[in-house]
């Protein structure tokens, strides 16, 4: 197995996400915005309505790759509170990493509608 095959195979919510340069694959993904980029179903299916306004602000900050200290300063809250909001976002969106949160934040805020 090649290293990029290993890195590209991933289980998420029971569906397989393949990171590939092949734009013709449909591996349980949906063609979305971004000039033919495949938006994974777990991004499309993330229910942002479950998030509070503050959690949405934290999600947006995660999309901008901001560390907790910067998020805390920007939102005038403690770093501990930021950590609690991040944890809540992960639970509600059924994700496990800041990277997944960033992907959702970026693709779901796209003006041409990756929703």
Minimum mean pLDDT among 21-35, 63-77, 97-111: which range? 21-35
Minimum mean pLDDT among 18-22, 80-84, 100-104, 111-115: which range? 18-22
Q: pLDDT tens-digit profile of 76-101?
A: 999 999 999 999 999 999 999 999 99
Q: pLDDT tens-digit profile of 1-13?
A: 444 433 344 434 4
In this prediction, residue 36 carries a pLDDT of 61
In this prediction, residue 110 carries a pLDDT of 63
- 60-98 in b/e form (b: 16+ CB < 10 A) is bbbbeebebeebbeeeebeeebbeebbebbbebbebeeb
State how far the Cα of 10 lies from the Cα of 78, in Å rounded to an integer. 34
In this prediction, residue 66 carries a pLDDT of 98
- Compute the half-sphere exposure of residue 1: CA atoms within 13 Å on the CB side of its CA: 7
> Which has the closest alpha carbon to 42: 4, 85, 93, 7?
93
């Amino acid at each position: 197995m090649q290293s990029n095959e290993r890195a590209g195979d991933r289980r998420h919510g029971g569906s397989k996400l393949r990171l590939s340069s092949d734009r013709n694959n449909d591996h349980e993904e949906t063609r979305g915005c971004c000039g033919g980029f495949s938006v994974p179903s777990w991004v499309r299916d993330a229910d942002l309505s479950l998030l509070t306004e503050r959690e949405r602000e934290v999600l947006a900050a995660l999309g901008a790759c901001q560390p907790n200290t910067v998020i805390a300063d920007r939102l005038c809250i403690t770093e501990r509170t930021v950590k609690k909001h991040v944890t809540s976002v992960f639970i509600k969106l059924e994700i496990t990493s800041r990277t997944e949160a960033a992907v959702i934040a970026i693709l779901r805020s796209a003006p041409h509608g990756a929703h």
